[in-house]
A and B are shown apart, each in its own frame.
Chain A
Amino acid sequence: DVKVTQSSRYLVKRTGEKVFLECVQDMDHENMFWYRQDPGLGLRLIYFSYDVKMKEKGDIPEGYSVSREKKERFSLILESASTNQTSMYLCASSLWDQPQHFGDGTRLSIL
């Protein structure tokens, strides 16, 4: 069974901090994704990656960056956290043409 693990279920940070959200998958998937999930807005794609060191912007990349140094790990970075980045963050992975598998999510609060 595919396992997508997000390092934290809950995280509280302060405005202006640099925040790292980590995601690891154990099925050798090429594709990895970061979404944020907000009520009434659904899932919005922040960034995705289809290979090591490759990244593509999603629909709302502003204020975020990503890192994929190893195939199994995809990190989301908030360069300078702001209160409007308080949200649920979901990581997913997939093989090229297969459906995505999701992690449990990280609920991030920026104070």
Chain B
Amino acid sequence: AQRVTQPEKLLSVFKGAPVELKCNYSYSGSPELFWYVQYSRQRLQLLLRHISRESIKGFTADLNKGETSFHLKKPFAQEEDSAMYYCALRGSSASKIIFGSGTRLSIRP
């Protein structure tokens, strides 16, 4: 069965500190992994996907198949990074996408 686990409901860090949002997944095949972000009063939007291997707003995420993880990282947090972050998975043979329960990131000034 497909499952995405985000163990932290809330993560609070100081501005300028490194950030790591954890995501672990369960899937027997080769999944595609995403990070979505929802800023206050805005719609949910794609932040990055593992196949594009790019950095968006200073965030990166590497797919680790051995550990079945796709953690989101940023070396220096900014106040505008405060938002709700969701990790998501799409299996290789279906269009359906499963989301984790989300982590609320709060950046303290």
Contacts and interface: CB of A to CB of B under 8 A. Distances in A.
Given A40-B9, A42-B86, A43-B86, A99 B100 contact: no
A40 B101 contact: yes
Interface size class of B (residues with CB under 8 A): 10 to 19
A52 interface: no
Interface size class of A (residues with CB under 8 A): 20 to 34
B44 A102 contact: yes
A22 interface: no
A102 B99 CA distance: 13
A79 interface: no
Interface string B15-47: 000000000000000000010000000011110
B52 to A, nearest CB: 10
Given A42-B101, A99-B34, A102-B43, 8 more contacts: A33-B97, A35-B99, A43-B99, A45-B96, A45-B99, A50-B95, A99-B49, A100-B46
